[in-house]
Structure 1
Amino acid sequence: MRTSTRTLRAAAVTAGAALLFVAAAATPAAAASGRSALPGSQPAWANAKALRSAAPATDTVDLRVYLPWQNASAAAQTALAVSTPGSSSYRKFLTPQAFRQQFAPSQSSVVAVQQFLRSAGFTIVDTPSNNRYVSAEGTVAQAQNAFGVTLGEYSAYGTTLRAPESAVTVPASLAGIVESVAGLDQGASLIQPTSTDGYGNGNSPKQNHGAPSVGFRAGQPCSLWYGEKTVAMPNAPAYGTSTKPIAPCGYTPAQVRGLYGLDQVAANGSGQTVAFVGANASPTLVQDVTKYSSLHNLPAPKITQLVAPGVYKHPDTPQQVPGDYYGEETLDAEAIHTTAPGADLLYVASANARQDFDASVNHIVDKHLASILSISYGFAGEAVPQGFVNSLNNTFIEAAATGVGVFVSSGDSGDEVGSFGTPTVDFYADSPWVTAVGGSSASVVPTAAPSGLSYSAIDDPASPLNNTGWKRSFEVGWETGLDAVNPTATDHMSGAPYELDGTLASPLPGTFNGGGGGGVSRLFAQPAYQAAAVGAASGRLVPDISALADPNTGLLVGQTQTFSNGTYYDEYRIGGTSVAAPLTAGIAAVANQVAGAPLGFLNPRIYAAYAAGGSAFYDVDQADMFGTTVQSPLPSVLRVNYVDSESAAGGLSYSLRTQEEPNQTLHSTKGYDTATGVGTPNGAAFFAGITK
């Protein structure tokens, strides 16, 4: 699974009252005569011990100089007022033009920044209509001269990254005009997607960079629904039973729709546009989602793809290349289409997932291209370049003020203790202006068990697997423990009854193998809308809401892949909060349709509905597992993997996956918790509660 480790660097970035969270213009610090330093502009990892060499003077530098909103606290107040039920301004969203008139940086400030950059030899690339930044291209030598720094090459997080050796400075005449500079350091290259196949045996398939992803299939046997197949494990009893469910093959769209009660409402997201962003662009996206839809009883998708103006076309570091992200883009589209099959889909591509990622987000918001935005990317932890914190958070404020709901995956590394030694949450999900979506493990079962189905039925649109008749049996928080099962000569996995006679390779629950992110932010104070509903905390609590994310009970997706016998469409099971966020974004599109108009930033509405009681949310609670017939007290499944990721010919591996392992600090409990937030959407009751 993809993870990213880095040193924790926390800083409070708040503006006054608990209601307001504004990445305001940096207060100039003392610097060389005639210049002002930008606080937080030197990454913590750029230290003398990690310095390896000077950055080559002729290397290209692509940067953005960010300007703050005018009257930033008023922008935040407006965003909150239009998003809060009971406010006289509730759902009276500003148009992008009105927002620009009130809060955009002045044209004179933009001209001053442009003149400064041109005088230093930079080429101006783009300035968006909201004047949020000026992007430019130059060389290392020009950047060093312009910003009064020396740029070095540093060893960080297993790679080499460029960064300034001291704080970035600007001429004193630009103090208060320049908020931050992004792109001098390459820390943004550490942004990662939050999807995982949960492989966990050291043989997870690598990507074929620039080509269709390397082929991957869920190992068989697998279950057509939760508990459809079980395996006897007489020498490996776990959690009170020696019989375990075999992991599902991947839930179909019909099964996911049954899980969240979407078949209880007539609305399907029609009339709504859901945008999603990512790195690069899969050349087979439309044909893959179209085929997926035809196989799984969904209408043909309506997909538009574009690249934001000014996005850079040439890479500056080798961390991220096209093929790595084709699956992520396809997953997002198919997940949104699963929960909002009537909605239009808009994919806005970045040439990579580094500093131009925020340009894609800004373009969607500033041009109001969609009323809902799904983001399945983020940093591990809160050690984030200050320019990125400021740029994204202020864009999220504009999104809220103009009626765009933003849904962000909470991360796939649980409480992050394994990376940082202490619990922490991830940025972007920690922003109080987005809906942070955590992860659950889910049991989906039929309302009436069909008989005589084989694996081939999973791609038959007439099959019960692709039609209504599914419901939730239980959900718990997604925090996986992996324990390998030692194979033996007497194992019987070729057909029912299934039996594994080996022992577990290590004590339960084994090693941590991924889980939804959550916890308490050190970067942002707790917003009042959250504190009023769940009680006071030392910082913003993550997540807000959750949805299916466990790769062991994951979503079935389809994509063109490169197998040993050719390149073609096939399907596999996947998870991560990259599944949860677009599923929830799609559900929000349905809510917009039910409401008859955009609901915008949902968090104040989510917490108001939660505080009101009722059944809008399914309360994800580990205690639901006590007394169930298959497993007690902790849910776990037996997972089969193909060692070569393609077929049984390369061998099989077996592992027991504990679905909410006890060694994490994140656990689902009654009420709000930092594993699953307020819970998961609960069918028609959710739409009734969220649209009041």
Structure 2
Amino acid sequence: MFAKLHRKSLSLSLGLLLTGVSAGAWAAQAAPAVDAGVAPSNQNVHVTLFLKLHNEAALESYIQETVTPGSPHYRQFLTTSQFAQQYGATDAEIARVQSYLRSQGLSSEVLPSHLAIRTSGTLAQYGNLFQTSIHNYVSRDNGRSFHKPSSTPQLPSAIADVVDVATGLSNEKAYRPHHVSMPAFTSFGAANAKTNALAAKSSGSSGGNPTASGVPGQYTVGDVANFYDINPLYQRGIVGNGSTTCIVTLSNFYPSDATAYWSDIGLTTKPNRITLVPVDGGGAIDGGSGETSIDVEQAGGIAPYADVIVYHAPNAGNGFVDAFAQSVTDNTCDSISTSWGSPEIFNFAALNVTGASNTDTTDVGDLRAFHKIFLEAAVQGQSLFAASGDSGAYDTVRGLGVGTGAGQFTAPLTVDSPASDPFITAAGGTTTPFNYSFGTGPTQSITQESVWGWDYLQNYFDTYIGKGVVNLFSSGGGGGVSVYWHTPFYQAFTHGIRRSEKDQSLVYNDPSAGPTTLLKLPGHFEGRNVPDISLNADPETGYVFVSTVDGGLASGEGGTSFVAPQLNGITALLVQSSGHRIGLWNPQVYFLQDIFGYGWFSPFKSVRAGDNWFYYGAPHYNQGAGIGALDVANLDVFLRSGF
């Protein structure tokens, strides 16, 4: 299928490794910015009000029962209307909020789940509503402009007992796609890859799947099937028939990219199965469009006869939250994945509220809004997946200048959101076995599936190329310990679960004021551990994909953005095979691993080698790879049996 591409000489820079939002844009979210005054009062924006749930503890208990064999509510998932009736805001509460909004001149639309109300109005109206002033700001780092409240917004007392979170008052935050390219080698340039990568047709001799390439850096969904024992499902005719898999993304894309990818690898798929659903006006065709192409190609390639719905929204304000909310309240999706995220700590008051203490980890961002959406999805039986990030154990590094120079930040141990939420499955990254050599150095090998972290390359370059030539810190699979979400019930008895490390701080070396501690993270916090499940994500053992905005065919691509949609597609297969939705993966897979371990019949393969720059592989749960990689055929047997 793919002509083999040879890499021997080296030309690297850290900037070539990063994709998506520029480092400057990310730095603007953490570094102080210059207040440019009150934003135009007549500027129209959309703000979503998330309403308080009723009986939230009972809701979490019910979710646990839906995925617990022997429970009277096992697999008794709710409809959207049932969720609204049992846990959403009441009609009277909603009417009161809408009446108040009308009195302020704001229009509103209620989600069918009774979980949220979308509103529209001007910045002046929202400033009045939340007793604050919306100002424009300019980043001191790169001149980027954005608006946000100049003081902490206050919920009006008339509706404070119903409304929990308001999102969209600021457009400062931009999420990033979790996609990383192979380092750029002079003998392995993009043009060479695009010319040669689809030059040959696979003979099917690379592991049983005829669409596989067998070539690291040019892997396809067929190779994923070979690695993780998916082929037995295909042999039974399990191809995703009757399932609907959904992508939540912040860039639009060209559906022809996906159909070209499937056609080029020789994969037969259901025709006309991609539906685009714009939310809040939809996402743009831009630098993030390749991420959406990856997501659709991977999810739809793993499950070639599943329907694919793409919910896309602008990468600003409440776009991400709204797109997720729409995908869940529509309740058409059996499984949903996203490959976008941001450091969990970027939501904390210490980084968002003027005058807040640098120890204030109160959520003033979107964490609670996402959590409510994910609870609804879980009780409706929808399986959710999020990429855990591509900066190893140091999630802020990929977007912030890290070091000791002026205008740079320190690198605390951090995790990514929304993957850190306990009601979504966090997709981590591994490196599959391969041989590698660069420059005049010797050939070395990764001999077993390992936690993905590029320190193995860093050591090679330092030894054989020269220290200081390249800096790969800290590319690798995201993982660690949340300092916001507590350890969930399904991790309570899992060997290897850890608390957060002590003495972790985000410090900005202000060019004018010197080092400034922006946030001190809680130490020894009993937090949610991520990731949960990991699959191959290292670009060195990575994939091809097709993206028009990236010039067509790209090789040597990776990141946990491949893993989340792969798990999404795997779920579509499991839905067809079992005849029902799978629901929240986490309680089910942790139970199976806790009881059955890693025997030959286990659904999991332990990841014992490698590291993500801090956390190491182990013969049990670890913060580099979670409970390990999958054996999908074995997992299918357990799920069909009701274990």
Cα offsets for 1:206-241 (capped at 9, x unmatched): xxxxxxxx989469899999xx9xxxxxxxxxxxxx
* Alignment-derived partner of residue 590 in structure 1: 573
What does 1:534-545 align with in structure 2 at a 5 Å threshold?
534=495, 537=498, 538-545=526-533
Query: Aligned with 1:114: secondary structure?
Result: helix
* Alignment-derived partner of residue 250 in structure 2: 279
In 2: Cα distance, 1:539 partner to 1:109 partner: 34
Instruction: Using the TM superposition, give the Cα deviation of residue 75 of structure 1 relative to its aligned residue in structure 2, in angstroms.
Output: 1.9
* Alignment-derived partner of residue 669 in structure 1: 618
Query: Aligned with 1:335: secondary structure?
Result: helix
> 1:255·1:444 contact (CA, 8 Å) conserved in 2?
no
> 1:484·1:505 contact (CA, 8 Å) conserved in 2?
no
> 1:148·1:169 contact (CA, 8 Å) conserved in 2?
yes
Cα offsets for 1:613-669 (capped at 9, x unmatched): 23434434344xxxxxxxxxxxxxxxxxxxxxxxxxxxxxxxxxxxx4x68112222
Q: Quick one: which of 77, 81, 103 aligns to 2:65?
A: 81
Instruction: Using the TM superposition, give the Cα deviation of residue 690 of structure 1 relative to its aligned residue in structure 2, in angstroms.
Output: 4.3
Rate the CA distance shift 1:595–1:562 in 2: closer, same or farther, 3 A: closer
Rate the CA distance shift 1:99–1:289 in 2: closer, same or farther, 3 A: same
* Alignment-derived partner of residue 291 in structure 1: 260
Structure 2 gap ranges (5+): 1-17, 206-213, 348-362, 401-409, 436-445, 499-525
Rate the CA distance shift 1:679–1:290 in 2: closer, same or farther, 3 A: same
* Alignment-derived partner of residue 19 in structure 2: 2
Query: Aligned with 2:450: secondary structure?
Result: strand
Query: Identity of counterpart residues, as a percentage?
Result: 27
Cα offsets for 1:161-191 (capped at 9, x unmatched): 322122212322212111111111224x321
What does 1:223-372 align with in structure 2 at a 5 Å threshold?
248-265=216-233, 266=236, 267-282=238-253, 284-285=254-255, 287-302=256-271, 303-307=273-277, 311-313=279-281, 321-352=284-315, 354-372=317-335
2:103 is matched by which residue type in structure 1?
Answer: S
Structure 1 gap ranges (5+): 9-42, 206-213, 229-245, 315-319, 446-471, 487-501, 564-568, 624-659
* Alignment-derived partner of residue 548 in structure 2: 560
Cα offsets for 1:45-99 (capped at 9, x unmatched): 697x753433232322321122111222222222222123343222111122211
* Alignment-derived partner of residue 448 in structure 2: 474
1:190 aligns with 2:178: no
Rate the CA distance shift 1:525–1:341 in 2: closer, same or farther, 3 A: same
Rate the CA distance shift 1:406–1:162 in 2: closer, same or farther, 3 A: same
* Alignment-derived partner of residue 98 in structure 2: 114
Query: Aligned with 1:174: secondary structure?
Result: coil
* Alignment-derived partner of residue 426 in structure 1: 416
Instruction: Using the TM superposition, give the Cα deviation of residue 257 of structure 1 relative to its aligned residue in structure 2, in angstroms.
Output: 1.1
* Alignment-derived partner of residue 493 in structure 2: 532
2:286 is matched by which residue type in structure 1?
Answer: G
Query: Aligned with 1:540: secondary structure?
Result: strand
In 2: Cα distance, 1:76 partner to 1:45 partner: 33
1:166 is matched by which residue type in structure 2?
Answer: S
1:169 aligns with 2:180: no
Rate the CA distance shift 1:618–1:602 in 2: closer, same or farther, 3 A: closer
Instruction: Using the TM superposition, give the Cα deviation of residue 395 of structure 1 relative to its aligned residue in structure 2, in angstroms.
Output: 0.7
Query: Aligned with 1:331: secondary structure?
Result: helix
Rate the CA distance shift 1:595–1:274 in 2: closer, same or farther, 3 A: same
> 1:148·1:168 contact (CA, 8 Å) conserved in 2?
yes
In 1: Cα distance, 2:603 partner to 2:624 partner: 15
1:305 is matched by which residue type in structure 2?
Answer: T
1:440 aligns with 2:430: yes
Q: Quick one: which of 87, 109, 113 aligns to 1:130?
A: 113
1:300 is matched by which residue type in structure 2?
Answer: T
* Alignment-derived partner of residue 616 in structure 1: 602
Instruction: Using the TM superposition, give the Cα deviation of residue 671 of structure 1 relative to its aligned residue in structure 2, in angstroms.
Output: 1.2
1:575 is matched by which residue type in structure 2?
Answer: G
Q: What is the root-mean-square deviation of aligned Cα atoms in Å?
A: 3.6
* Structure number, greater radius of gyration: 1
Rate the CA distance shift 1:607–1:219 in 2: closer, same or farther, 3 A: farther
Q: Which runs of 4+ in 1 moved over 4 A?
A: 3-8, 43-47, 155-158, 218-225, 482-486, 507-510
> 2:427·2:563 contact (CA, 8 Å) conserved in 1?
yes
What does 1:22-61 align with in structure 2 at a 5 Å threshold?
50-61=34-45
Instruction: Using the TM superposition, give the Cα deviation of residue 357 of structure 1 relative to its aligned residue in structure 2, in angstroms.
Output: 2.0
> 1:617·1:679 contact (CA, 8 Å) conserved in 2?
no
In 1: Cα distance, 2:294 partner to 2:326 partner: 22
Query: Aligned with 2:344: secondary structure?
Result: coil
Rate the CA distance shift 1:288–1:511 in 2: closer, same or farther, 3 A: closer
Q: Quick one: which of 376, 382, 391 aligns to 1:413?
A: 391
> 2:533·2:629 contact (CA, 8 Å) conserved in 1?
yes
Rate the CA distance shift 1:593–1:509 in 2: closer, same or farther, 3 A: farther
What TM-score do you get using the length of structure 1 for normalisation? 0.70
2:300 is matched by which residue type in structure 1?
Answer: H
Instruction: Using the TM superposition, give the Cα deviation of residue 122 of structure 1 relative to its aligned residue in structure 2, in angstroms.
Output: 2.4
1:520 aligns with 2:481: yes
* Alignment-derived partner of residue 40 in structure 1: none
In 1: Cα distance, 2:215 partner to 2:161 partner: 56
Cα offsets for 1:401-455 (capped at 9, x unmatched): 110010111011111164552211111001100111101111379xxxxxxxxxx
1:682 aligns with 2:643: no
1:606 aligns with 2:623: no
Query: Aligned with 1:440: secondary structure?
Result: strand
> 1:80·1:400 contact (CA, 8 Å) conserved in 2?
no
In 2: Cα distance, 1:215 partner to 1:351 partner: 30
2:58 is matched by which residue type in structure 1?
Answer: A
What TM-score do you get using the length of structure 2 for normalisation? 0.75
Q: Quick one: which of 119, 122, 130 aligns to 1:139?
A: 122
In 2: Cα distance, 1:299 partner to 1:412 partner: 31
- My pick for the range that moved more, 358-367 or 673-682, is 358-367
> 2:194·2:553 contact (CA, 8 Å) conserved in 1?
no
In 1: Cα distance, 2:301 partner to 2:96 partner: 48
In 1: Cα distance, 2:192 partner to 2:99 partner: 51
In 2: Cα distance, 1:110 partner to 1:65 partner: 11
Instruction: Using the TM superposition, give the Cα deviation of residue 248 of structure 1 relative to its aligned residue in structure 2, in angstroms.
Output: 2.6
Query: Aligned with 2:48: secondary structure?
Result: strand
> 2:451·2:625 contact (CA, 8 Å) conserved in 1?
yes
* Alignment-derived partner of residue 549 in structure 1: 537
Instruction: Using the TM superposition, give the Cα deviation of residue 200 of structure 1 relative to its aligned residue in structure 2, in angstroms.
Output: 6.0
1:386 is matched by which residue type in structure 2?
Answer: V
What does 1:624-639 align with in structure 2 at a 5 Å threshold?
none
> 1:547·1:581 contact (CA, 8 Å) conserved in 2?
no
> 1:301·1:337 contact (CA, 8 Å) conserved in 2?
no
> 2:30·2:346 contact (CA, 8 Å) conserved in 1?
no
> 2:67·2:583 contact (CA, 8 Å) conserved in 1?
yes
Instruction: Using the TM superposition, give the Cα deviation of residue 130 of structure 1 relative to its aligned residue in structure 2, in angstroms.
Output: 1.4
> 1:438·1:517 contact (CA, 8 Å) conserved in 2?
yes
* Alignment-derived partner of residue 496 in structure 1: none
Query: Aligned with 1:274: secondary structure?
Result: strand
> 2:612·2:624 contact (CA, 8 Å) conserved in 1?
no
In 1: Cα distance, 2:268 partner to 2:316 partner: 30
In 1: Cα distance, 2:487 partner to 2:167 partner: 26
In 1: Cα distance, 2:225 partner to 2:434 partner: 10
> 2:170·2:317 contact (CA, 8 Å) conserved in 1?
no
Instruction: Using the TM superposition, give the Cα deviation of residue 527 of structure 1 relative to its aligned residue in structure 2, in angstroms.
Output: 0.7
